[in-house]
Amino acid sequence: MAAKVEAAGRSENTLKSYHKDVHGFCTFLQGYIGDALSLSDLKELDRKTLRSWMAQERNNGISSRSLARKLSSLKNFYRWLGEEYGFENTFIETAKAPRFRSKFPRPISEQGTQEVLAYVGTQPDVPWVAARDVAIISLLYGCGLRISEALDLTHAVLPLKDAIQIIGKGKKERVVPVIPYCQNAVTEYVCLCPFIAKPKDPLFYGIRGGPLNPRTVRKIMERARISLGLPANSTPHSLRHSFATHILNAGGDLRVIQDLLGHSSLSTTQAYTKVETSRLMEVYKSAHPRAK
């Protein structure tokens, strides 16, 4: 049985996760009842079966956070079933998600980001590849872009001006300033890149000329992290967190940071203030005479 989901405002990755979660649950339920799955089976799902599914997920090593997401997908699925077939399941609606600690953003230090930018341009033997690595890392940190947003850029943005329009999660558009460092890095890469491109072609290429794969960007950061001795959380996405945190440290306004990151809710952006508060508390506890 395939479930539909309202696609408006949802990213492709969100939809994929939703369908994967629902498919996994239906596969479990079919195996649990030992027969082909029917609407009646879904309607009559009881608390014992639901708990068995959650227990199986736990035994498979699923974290509390991931299990909470799966349960959320399941509730959305049952809402759709209710709209389409007019039945409700109290056990699903009232099921409580497991508790988990919210993960605060883990930024890289300002010195660490400078070291990363300096390092990535020295590794590949092919000059245009080295320039490409610098260009994309500079956009992640200098503009606070997600990997997907950077890789979605096309040659139509060239030459890079003082600002670019980004289409982020949920097809939400935002305007992001581009600092001269990023402009210069992209310009150098484009000048060295051997592939002839049209305006609609991707800005960043892989070594063989196809669109650059996100895994390649993650490997670039992984090599930099290991070589520079940076924390294990130093990933491409942490450059986006670093972008926001460093602006906040310099006195940036939280509302402005919200717009730059493309967050729908200010509460999401406020996580960065918690990061700085936790860091202040660490310094306080280690330095204050009465705290020792």
Catalytic residues: 146, 169, 237, 240, 263, 272
Nearest Cα residue to 112 out of 233, 248, 218, 217: 233
Inter-CA distances, 14 with 18, 53, 259, 271, Å: 6, 22, 21, 21
> Token match 């509390």: residue?
64
Task: State how far the Cα of 76 lies from the Cα of 4, in Å rounded to an integer.
Answer: 10
Location of structure tokens 């009646």? 40
Closest by CA to 83, choosing from 6, 20, 17, is 6
Distance (Å, whole) CA 243 – CA 272: 11
Q: Please give the structure tokens belonging to residue 28.
A: 């479990």
- Residue 253 makes CB contacts below 8 A (sequence gap 6+) with none
